[in-house]
Structure 1
């Protein structure tokens, strides 16, 4: 099990975020961009479906393929290039914060 955790620490988080964007918004959530991730998952996906259906009427169904493909590619690229905020929120990683505080107190003693 230790090998799994060691290997997971060396994984490129950008590539994982892009792969998680199969469900648009999950890659942003993975990189701790909560507002944009939730916005994409709710309003963004609903808007994309509405636009694809509306344009599908005018393009004889071609937009039903092109618009979602471009949407998924754009969201995956956005998740890949987003800054990684992992570890920047100590209230989300309470166990690391407490462990660091205990180590700091142990060094003082």
Structure 2
């Protein structure tokens, strides 16, 4: 009797690694909300992303730290508003980015 592996060939690579997910989402969020590229930030270095993941820092917290550190301004909002508009990324922004990048399914 032959025992077959539980995963078909290539099945393990069907889900992107956490680093690739972060790179994809950060690229989208930075471009969409701040007009920046990944290489405009420290996240252009894959090791920086790996360090954040290993330290258990959420993508939202990591990106918002950069927003505060460099005093970034969101470019995706209309000009003047009476209400104060936070420049920070929200979990809803990340959810929308996951949907836009086709990363909604979980393993």
TM class by shorter chain equals under 0.3
Length-normalised TM-score, structure 1: 0.26
Q: Whose helix proportion is higher, 1 or 2?
A: 1
Length-normalised TM-score, structure 2: 0.26
Larger radius of gyration: 1
